[in-house]
Structure 1
Amino acid sequence: MEQFSVNKNCSTLYTGVPLIDISKPDSKTLLVKACEEFGFFKVINHGVPIEYMSNLEVKAVNFFSLPLSVKQKAVSPHFFEYGNKMIGSNGDFGWVEYLILTTNTESSRRNFSSIFGEAAENFSRVLNEYVSAVRKMACEILEMLADGLKIEPRNVLSKLLMDDQSDSIFRLNHYPPVPESNGKKNLIGFGEHTDPQILSVLRSNNTSGLQISLKDGDWISIPPDQNSFFINVGDSLQVMTNGRFKSVRHRVVVNNKKESRVSMIYFGGPPLSEKIAPLPSLMKGEDSLYKEFTWFEYKRYAFQSRLADNRLGLFEKIVAS
């Protein structure tokens, strides 16, 4: 189990994460500032019904409580995938099990139902309610960011998530408690990485574990809040803002307390054919820091890399000073 060990850890919960009430009209300035300084923030008054959040958590807990032999049946190419401890195919491991689903809920429902029967129909309904509400919130945040950056049209970012061909995915993660017999107090649940998409929307139960890396490289622990959402800037949004917004490095650490951590993450991605490059309206004579690429190209490269790799490094331009 040595590959799960935490090399650098922190135990103090950090209370300085930007907290933004997105129901207030002046929050767009705070959103821009948070994306520039942290690449991470917490939103309240988000409009997603609490029952959608709690209902999906119940379904997730029920799924992860199934026998391993049953959960391992949840594999259908392009629609959903169950995994346990092995993250990707490049040697990354974590103290986690997960279920990844496409946000094309109709396709997921048909395929999931073929394996799990009638119970899957109810799961899919709850999932659809949650994802639809979270996607709407993510689009509102992107449009407020566009307002704050004075980008027109204001849906230049949100339309990528609303596109019928949007390559967004949804992930459920379960981090079981570390057995005391393991001999280690803290293990890596999910190793340090950045998210390659445009924006990530995270909600978890009331169990800690999430950590983000500050600009100086220090790791800080984020207090859990089961009624709010945490938003990550993704690599694609960093490129589209020509580095003005920062894609935050984050990880999950698991301890030997009795509580399991359950998290739900919506990864808002563009269509596979979408070209990712700095938005012209933000350049104002500046040189682009990145080479243009399609989301398909970057996604393929990202999934061929290790979690901790600097994935954007390959696409950075050398700009003369």
Structure 2
Amino acid sequence: MIIVLLGQAFASWVVEAPPTPERAEANALTKAARSTGHKGRVVRRFVDGEGWEYVVRWTFEGAEEANMAAMALQQATGAKLSVTGEDGAPAQDAAPSPEPEAEQRDWMAEALEAHGAGATVLAEASTVRVVFTRELADGRVAGHELIRRGTDHRLTITGKKGDVKESVTVAAGEKAWLVADGKASDQDLQRTREKLESFAPQSLAPLVLALDRAIKEHPELEEMVAKGTAKVGGVACEVAGSKDGSTLVAFGPNHLIRRLSVDGGKRVYEFSDYKEVGGVMIPHTIVRTVDENQRDTTRIEKVELDVEVDGAGFSPPG
């Protein structure tokens, strides 16, 4: 470790881990450092002739604070850390860098660290039960209960306001059926599964509850650039997005996603009332706006993982 010289004067100090070509390694390092109470930031840098690399950095106001933190971080992570002034000058003499490096903030890595691996946690749960209310754009209000048991799904819809078609839809084993008005009817299994999955938590809160999967499937998310600042629901946010501006993401305090705008603003989601469930931060209020005027609100009342469910609800009607 490079120890800080307390006589040096810098506005702030940075503790930095050795670079790695694998973002997963950088993410693992930030998790290993959690026990110290210091939250790191994963930064992506391009090194000429070598390509992209990932670095974990922790920033502190004072030299003594940085030095003490570096010792704690090194003990927690086992990594060989360096301490430098904010302007990049080393706290002690070190070999000069051959060339300046381009630095790009890894917004998605920060968000994943804050939100947790929602797609993985939800997929690995043996059962998932989510209860929510949806307030539709036309004023109707419907209550929903979705239960997943393995690959089987059961959705119950009840009316709370306005003309709501009450029903129970089930996809279990090799069969699917709908019960409405006291009558049962067979349904197409594949289409029913797709419909029921659209009511799952990761579909109710797109991107937010599937960050780990989205990062793998959409590498363009790693190319996001800063787009300024904004307030979402009164919360000050940093905004980043794709270079063409078609996708914009607003990050609130602690890197939680507060707004997602896709297709050039044709669909906008706002997320609030975050609560932790099974190690994942889940927004319990989601407002979706389509084409700037069609607006609906989903209010999640309960999310339960690995709970016992009544098997009778997955049995075909007699």
TM-score range, shorter chain: under 0.3
* TM-score calculated relative to the size of structure 2: 0.23
Higher RCO (C-alpha under 8 Å, 6+ residues apart): 1
Which has a greater percent of strand?
A: 2
* TM-score calculated relative to the size of structure 1: 0.22
